[in-house]
Structure 1
Amino acid sequence: MQLVSTKDELRHHLDAVRMAGRSVGFVPTMGALHEGHLSLVGAATADCDVVVLSIFVNPLQFGADEDLESYPRPRQRDLELAETAGVDVVFTPSPQEMYPGSVFTAVHVAALTSTMEGAARPTHFDGVCTVVTKLFNLVGPCHAYFGEKDYQQLAVVGRMVADLDQPVTVVGCPIVREPDGLALSSRNVHLSGEQREAAGVLHRALRAGATMIAVGEHDGEAVAAHMAEIIGDEPLARLDYATVVDAATLEPLRALARDAEIRLLVAAAFGSTRLLDNVGVTVP
């Protein structure tokens, strides 16, 4: 496994890889790797000849009151996990390498970023899209792997790639969960024991919403209200949103049309730790 810390070295190395006729898979991360990240590496390894993983805690996607400084950075453990998983190249730039001066340019995706995470964190998606565009420019033509846990991010990045004709194929990969259904997240390490137990309410609420639809409920607002009620009944949970949206456009849905592909999404804070989760449903 090669460690690369500069943009020029990464670009030149991967240009040579493609010149040799080999395909590139890319897994962008902020580190604190867990089984969810490693499942993305596994998908990339299965599809591509060379797998690149980036570890960069991107300051542009954190708001003023968010957890940039406390975000976990277990570098040595991350490198060991990446090597064991079969990563070929790890890109670990410094903030100064990625942003050597003032940043005057931002990448903004309209419409898809105005609700849910975009409403809760107004600058978040511009930061995500800007750094992902920079990383795509450095990595070059590739397959890029993102988890469905951050479903809105997956949809936003997919639309950005399509709109800007970036030479990247975005691949969404299934959520990896704990035995009680909690979606794996780097932020889970911040939960206390009681908060960790309480956090299972997110997946329970999603399952309840999916069950309502499976047995014939076609009112999206009723499904969202039921999920919100379940989360609201957990004393340690502070609900942010519970919603039912079109899987492609992220538009909130009132009437659930037959055979429609929809997404149920929830977000809540447990103490200072904010968690997301979602499930996909095909309306019967």
Structure 2
Amino acid sequence: MNFFSRLKEGLNKTRENLTRRVGELLAGSSRLDDDFFDELEEILLTADVGARTSMELVERLRREVRDRKITDPAAVGSLLQEEVARMLGEEVPRLVWAPEPPTVILVVGVNGAGKTTTIGKLACRFAREGKRVILAAADTFRAAAGEQLAVWAERAGAGLIRHQAGADPAAVVYDAIQSARNRRADVVLVDTAGRLQTKTNLMEELKKIRRVMERELPGAPHEVLLVLDATTGQNALSQARLFSEAVGVTGIALTKLDGTAKGGVILGIAAEMGIPVKLVGLGEGPDDLKEFQPRDFAAALFSGLAGEKEE
């Protein structure tokens, strides 16, 4: 099954919540008036697109309808897909790599979002590509996190830097960078504890980890990935704001997209935060973490609505 098919299947719940209702609106409307656009905005809100982004998207559609002199509601489906793709960005966002190895990728997020699993999947992928990988178990407060990371390290054939429970996470990161230099590793993936974004002291600890990276390896971290659980909807947007303020998030890895009706939150993150979604999780297997493709996402989300051909 190709990426588009997997994405379309994974978005089933979101499509039921969003696309089906938009289709019913298009089919049941005779004109493009204020009532039509008000109802469309309400549908977007219920799919966790977010108030600001929903208003912006509907306003864009109003302008396009006016400028193109469109009167048939059925034509709005393809317009909506176009605007969503434009809002998500024209290019496929890629992970950033250091000019010279090692590349350091800091992975952050709240408990249960899927950070450790995301790191494990990335480690497996990089190893298959022939890269030398080191995992840094900087979540020293949850013993199970280190055990879980050890399993992934063995599966990927990656090195693992781990300290005893309760150790300073920044010390783990320091040792991981030194080890990466000594072993000539290509990439260091840093796991961190599941931060409650409202806890100032925990955010300060993340800042300390970042400072250690910057001091020991100029330019690091080269990527700060925030792992978000798609099922949390608008809470994901607030997490993106707070983590970005603390450590400068450069990309989003959105997990559990295959189990949520709230996939519309991707639009809010892209439009309001300006942070690209770089990876999406479409299942539990090692190969189920995929690069985010904006146009494929828009096409899969609105599959059947605008009469496009399915791939």
TM-score tier by shorter-chain length is 0.3 to 0.5
TM-score (norm 1): 0.35
- Bigger radius of gyration among the two: 2
Higher relative contact order (CA 8 A, sep 6+): 2
What's the TM-score once normalised by structure 2's chain length? 0.33
Q: Which has the higher strand share?
A: 1
